[in-house]
């Protein structure tokens, strides 16, 4: 089966609530004729970072996540700082800057792909619960992401979304997302959201 798969990850070119640090990310646009042709995104220069992207408490490390801003035109790869939480032996992502300060952030985990096969590395989805509950701020970036499928989003998703990838099924630590993971997130938002 051949279907056109387009995954767009664009860097922030103008003002952003994420700050100046993310403006240095390269623009990556990948057009994929088949799933077999999917390759990880090219390595980012000077990645992983030796210093945190955002000022604040000390961070353990940085990973790449998918960022779908509600008023954005396409999904983007962005760097996310992680800080350790020793009590629970897990990492805490620093994503508050992706959402409005008045928003309530909620999350869920995607354990299965579109074929209901268990994912070795589940995806952790953070979303704006306020926008979703009020049905305000439809997410145009997710609509753009799902357009390459025969069915676009059956129902619109509301509010900003950040997707991170867990390192394993224990769901405690995160790793860098790849284009394959973006395709899994796209399938979720197209078929199940």
Tens digits of per-residue pLDDT, 52-83?
Answer: 444 445 556 889 999 999 888 889 999 998 88
- Total structural domains within the chain: 1
Residue 46, C-beta contacts closer than 8 angstroms, at least 6 positions apart? none
Q: State mean pLDDT over 165-184.
A: 92
Tens digits of per-residue pLDDT, 25-37?
Answer: 444 433 333 333 3
Query: DSSP class of residue 111?
Result: E
Q: How far apart, in Å, are the Cα atoms of 39 and each of 71, 81, 174, 180, 182?
A: 28, 24, 20, 8, 12
Q: How far apart, in Å, are the Cα atoms of 48 and each of 13, 29, 60, 62?
A: 22, 21, 11, 6
Q: State mean pLDDT over 160-186.
A: 92
Widest CA span in the chain: 48
Helix (H) or strand (E) holding 129: helix 129-134
Residue carrying structure tokens 């979720």: 188
Tokens of 72: 């954005």
Q: Find the domain containing 48 and state its range.
A: 5-191
Tokens of 74: 């396409």
Mean pLDDT of the chain: 73
Tens digits of per-residue pLDDT, 104-147?
Answer: 999 999 999 988 999 999 999 999 999 999 998 898 898 888 88
Cα 167 vs. chain centroid, distance in angstroms?
A: 15
Cβ neighbours of 188 (radius 10 Å): 20
């Amino acid at each position: 089966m051949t279907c056109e798969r387009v995954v767009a990850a664009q860097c922030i070119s103008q003002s952003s609530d994420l700050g100046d640090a993310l403006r240095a990310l390269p623009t990556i646009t990948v057009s994929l004729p088949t799933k077999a042709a999917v390759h990880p995104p090219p390595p980012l220069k000077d990645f992983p970072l030796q210093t945190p992207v955002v000022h604040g408490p000390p961070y353990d490390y940085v990973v790449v996540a998918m960022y779908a801003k509600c008023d954005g035109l396409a999904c983007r790869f962005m760097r996310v700082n992680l800080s350790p939480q020793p009590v629970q032996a897990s990492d805490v992502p620093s994503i508050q800057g992706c959402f409005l300060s008045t928003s309530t952030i909620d999350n869920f985990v995607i354990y299965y792909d579109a074929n209901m096969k268990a994912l070795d590395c589940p995806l952790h989805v953070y979303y704006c619960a306020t926008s979703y509950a009020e049905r305000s701020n439809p997410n145009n970036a997710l609509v753009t992401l799902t357009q390459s499928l025969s069915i676009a989003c059956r129902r619109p998703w509301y509010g900003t979304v950040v997707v991170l990838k867990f390192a394993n099924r224990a769901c405690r630590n995160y790793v860098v997302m790849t284009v394959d993971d973006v395709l899994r997130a796209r399938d979720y938002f197209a078929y199940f959201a």
